[in-house]
Amino acid sequence: MGSRMKRVCVFCGSNEGYRKIFSDAALDLATQLVDRKKDLIYGGGSAGLMGLVSQAVFHGGRHVLGIIPRALVPIEISGPGVGEVMIVSDMHERKANMARQADAFIALPSGYGTLEELLEIITWSQLGFHHKPVGVLNTDGYYDLLLGLFDKGVEEGFIYPSARNIVISASTPSELLDKIEDYASMVGPSDDDSSNSRGTTGEAN
């Protein structure tokens, strides 16, 4: 059931955006994770939405694991960190560890880095490297154009309809987590063994 989903990886950036609606949504997601007894895996930074989510989940009493490449430590960690910090060699190792350890993935509104992480984890699902839920928090329609591009890909024959269903989206954290837990209950237990054996070599563009 959805209760098997213990660890949620949140892709988010080191900026908060110009509008308060984005930081409010990030904090709402953190509250939902705490209330539902979910642990957090994230990019390890202390600024922006990364900092907001990680601090709120940590202070809510849940385990927080930040995974950060060594080169980004002086850039993205600007103050005392929270929870456990895993320092890895590069971005590829960061993403492989996120994929291996998480039971589900959520992308918050953010920039290029989050988009790259989101698209790669979608691709890994399409290729069968994992069967974990992938969610997009579409705050104030932030991801409307991206989701529309996916629909256009189906319309033009570049994306199979079944692959389009990989991406779960909702405008609020509560609705998104409900959908993710429903998805997790249908696909069964987290497939950590699959991620362990293939996550580090399964990159596709």
146 in a structural domain = yes
Q: Residue 10 contacts by C-beta under 8 Å, 6 or more apart in sequence?
A: 29, 40, 41, 42, 53, 105, 106, 107, 108
205 in a structural domain = no
Contact by Cβ (8 Å): 204, 124: yes
CA distance 201 to 187: 23
5 by Cβ neighbours in 10 Å (0-12 / 13-18 / 19+) ranks as buried
pLDDT above 80: residue 165:
yes
203 in a structural domain = no
pLDDT above 90: residue 195:
no
Q: What are 96's two structure tokens? A: 């492989």
pLDDT above 50: residue 180:
yes
55 in a structural domain = yes
pLDDT interval class at 200 (50, 70, 90): very low
202 in a structural domain = no
182 in a structural domain = yes
Q: Residue 12: which domain range?
A: 2-189
pLDDT interval class at 193 (50, 70, 90): very low
Give pLDDT tens digits for 79-111.
Answer: 666 899 999 999 999 999 999 999 999 999 999
With residue 42 as reference, give the H or E element that holds it. strand 39-42
- The CATH number for 57's domain is 3.40.50.450
pLDDT above 90: residue 166:
yes
pLDDT above 80: residue 60:
yes
Which residues is 173 bridged to in the sheet? none
197 in a structural domain = no
Tell me what percent of the residues of the chain surpass a pLDDT of 70. Answer: 87
pLDDT interval class at 123 (50, 70, 90): very high
pLDDT value, residue 82:
86
Give the SS3 label for residue 174. Answer: helix
115-124: average pLDDT: 96
| Total of domains in the chain | 1
201 in a structural domain = no
41-48: average pLDDT: 91
pLDDT interval class at 137 (50, 70, 90): very high
